[in-house]
Structure 1
């Protein structure tokens, strides 16, 4: 935790292991028993090894600290978070070798699948595959690329809408009207997304690989995506005849997805190295690699905070609105901008570190600057000019000066500071300054200090500020918490029944001594909670494995009850039948 950048620490929470109820542990146990049995045959071969290597116990919800200790030998660690965290924060954590694990636990009502992140998805889905070094390397590479992706305002709205709907669905206190309203909001956001952003494309890439990826032969693939590894229902569905399976290519980013529905098609990677090759192909067309006009125009369309990096190494962050380009450059992606402008809080950095007095506090309303060669030194990047050469051009700190750029921009005023990093010229700071070009004024003396950026080309454009820690709070970096629930008296009674069942399972009673304890517990629970089938299934497991003689009629009655409940509740039928199939194995 102490090694994390300050701006990421707000997402980390205490796991609060005591918050997990006996029902939570029972749900975990049921899911993990089913996953281990099914995925032992159908997941990538590293899965079962990964469960063991990461210290994940089938019998109870794991402590994230324990998972982290096991992951350290693979170059990773795990930290608990609460529910959805912003994608930018999630990716930055992964790029640092941290697996964020949602500490929340899905409810019994959402046993097969929950759209909200939970410890089943993160711990039983993501963590075991990290044991494979090639997948771990891919995930780290992906996070590094995703950190550079440009996201737009609609991405932020979509993230918020998905988070709100997912939390609403998982909260038992939510009303149908609230869920309907949250669904309508998400549908409205999705209908108005416009052109997909780089962050949106990376989200699709992640969905079709780390979340819902298959691997091996297209005709007989294995599962490795965490969304599939954490859901028996979806893992069974994905290998069935109704799902189209396609070879993985970079075109997967053109395929949309719905987090609330089973996927009609999935993509199959040849191996984990194949993932890295597809990622690299995608990265080649991203703004952080392209730079220049193409990269800059992506930032303008996004209407979010993004960074341009000049060939001098100077990084300027803000919401970019316009640029003028060198008409002499006829290339497909001209890199020489003559002037750039951003609005809103802006920041000037070098090597990802904000320069002194060059943050949003000094540039709260925006930032603009001419760029390019000085007329006195045409064709040469001004960042390479020595102080003697600046003096030759009449540029000396503490003196008035007139600087003409090769583009025709003129900067005239009192040169107050010449700012360098080593020998590299980064900024010229002016007071009482006016900036003009072709009869138009771009900066007035009354506006205060003018900071002129130095650079010849825009070599990279990427999402977010260069120095996130010093930039301040952004819309896409807001930390939220899933509020704790206060159980009702009825829920406390349910918890007590499940705890009694666990105590019996972990105790030493056998035969009729065990049966005489089980029968009243299951009977009272069924009478009090007629829609709760899991405790009766746990009772059946115990009586079949440790008290089978002389209890045949009771076993048959409980089986019949469970089969009847399955027939009357189609949505739960497969889970109950899976449980019955394994009831004789503790």
Structure 2
């Protein structure tokens, strides 16, 4: 069976990445030898810029876990990260050529394997990239996989994704991923902080999400979240806030099937729709 690339959102540009390298599960060996000196320098500069922004904006759990990535002056080898990650939470990262379909993605997460794109953006894309690259995946996602509670939530999400696929509810569940794992905010003793990878790997959206008066920030409610559309080409106009990773894990313990059936008869919310169902918390 031929492995086909996945198109991101409504983009007409063919995804980059060599999908001929991928196996049936869409994983492939990390092609470390293919990285150039410029690639390593791009990673170093991205890491340096983003890590300097974290104090006062990123969650304490993320800041505490970031050193577990190891080296920061060049692209790390996945197997070296896995030596530490597996011992800590039983997770491992696996290389993929780019975005992958829902079922392989959910299957990997359900088996505590996180897919990481193994190519890096060009210097022209230093400030913004449409598709997730190795910096977004490693810097944004992997540190919190060292946190046991959050790591368990991601596995539970993968397991739930496989069930949602059988129920035709992947779009609703994808919004939960978007507004938690990618763009989630958490309330800590020091104030509002970011834990979502899409925020943490963006130099512009990190201060915007936490400090700007423009977006609305709502307490995380599963039904409201699953009814809220999102955009991939702008900063988010709505964020959902949790009190702890334990709260997030506990909220997703229920069987979602009755909720999916109920939500199909309800209207969706636009990405910027305000003042409905839940009051803004910030």
**Partner residue in 2 for 1:115:** 130
Of residues 196, 206, 210, the one that matches 1:235 is: 206
Q: Distance in 1 between matches of 2:259 and 2:216?
A: 29
The alpha-carbon deviation at position 10 of structure 1 amounts to: 4.2
Q: Deviations over 1:511-565 (max 9, x none)?
A: xxxxxxxxxxxxxxxxxxxxxxxxxxxxxxxxxxxxxxxxxxxxxxxxxxxxxxx
Of residues 16, 19, 32, the one that matches 2:31 is: 16
Q: Distance in 2 between matches of 1:260 and 1:237?
A: 15
**Partner residue in 2 for 1:568:** none
**Partner residue in 1 for 2:154:** 139
Aligned pairs (5 A) from 1:129-168: 129-150=144-165
Unaligned runs of 5+ in 2: 1-21, 265-282
Q: Deviations over 1:477-516 (max 9, x none)?
A: xxxxxxxxxxxxxxxxxxxxxxxxxxxxxxxxxxxxxxxx
Does structure 2 conserve the Cα–Cα contact (< 8 Å) formed by 1:215 and 1:269?
yes
Instruction: Say which SS state the counterpart of residue 231 (structure 2) adopts.
Output: coil
**Larger Cα Rg: Structure 1 or Structure 2?**
1
The alpha-carbon deviation at position 110 of structure 1 amounts to: 1.4
State the TM-score, normalizing by the size of structure 1.
0.39
Q: Deviations over 1:162-191 (max 9, x none)?
A: xxxxxxxxxxxxxxxxxxxxxxxxxxxxxx
The alpha-carbon deviation at position 217 of structure 1 amounts to: 5.3
2:265 is the counterpart of 1:265: no
2:221 is the counterpart of 1:249: yes
Instruction: Say which SS state the counterpart of residue 242 (structure 1) adopts.
Output: coil
The alpha-carbon deviation at position 46 of structure 1 amounts to: 2.0
State the TM-score, normalizing by the size of structure 2.
0.78
**Partner residue in 1 for 2:83:** 69
Does structure 1 conserve the Cα–Cα contact (< 8 Å) formed by 2:59 and 2:188?
no
The alignment's C-alpha RMSD in Å is 2.4
Q: Distance in 2 between matches of 1:203 and 1:230?
A: 20
Does structure 2 conserve the Cα–Cα contact (< 8 Å) formed by 1:104 and 1:119?
yes
Instruction: Say which SS state the counterpart of residue 83 (structure 1) adopts.
Output: coil
Aligned pairs (5 A) from 1:175-324: 197-216=168-187, 220-239=191-210, 240-250=212-222, 251-281=224-254, 283-285=256-258
Q: Distance in 2 between matches of 1:95 and 1:10?
A: 13
The alpha-carbon deviation at position 284 of structure 1 amounts to: 4.9
Does structure 2 conserve the Cα–Cα contact (< 8 Å) formed by 1:104 and 1:117?
no
Q: Cα–Cα, structure 1 residues 218 and 256, in superposed 2: closer, same or farther, change >3 Å?
A: farther
Q: Deviations over 1:70-108 (max 9, x none)?
A: 211121111111111112111110110111111010111
Aligned pairs (5 A) from 1:429-440: none
**Partner residue in 2 for 1:89:** 104
Does structure 2 conserve the Cα–Cα contact (< 8 Å) formed by 1:218 and 1:245?
no
Instruction: Say which SS state the counterpart of residue 65 (structure 1) adopts.
Output: helix
Instruction: Please identify which structure carries the higher strand content.
Output: 1
Instruction: Say which SS state the counterpart of residue 253 (structure 2) adopts.
Output: helix
Q: Deviations over 1:119-153 (max 9, x none)?
A: 1111111110111111111111111111111369x
Instruction: Say which SS state the counterpart of residue 82 (structure 2) adopts.
Output: helix
Aligned pairs (5 A) from 1:376-415: none
How many residue pairs get aligned? The number is 239
Q: Distance in 1 between matches of 2:175 and 2:151?
A: 19
The alpha-carbon deviation at position 214 of structure 1 amounts to: 0.5
Q: Deviations over 1:299-330 (max 9, x none)?
A: xxxxxxxxxxxxxxxxxxxxxxxxxxxxxxxx
Q: Distance in 1 between matches of 2:205 and 2:136?
A: 12
Does structure 2 conserve the Cα–Cα contact (< 8 Å) formed by 1:80 and 1:101?
yes
Aligned pairs (5 A) from 1:24-39: 24-39=39-54
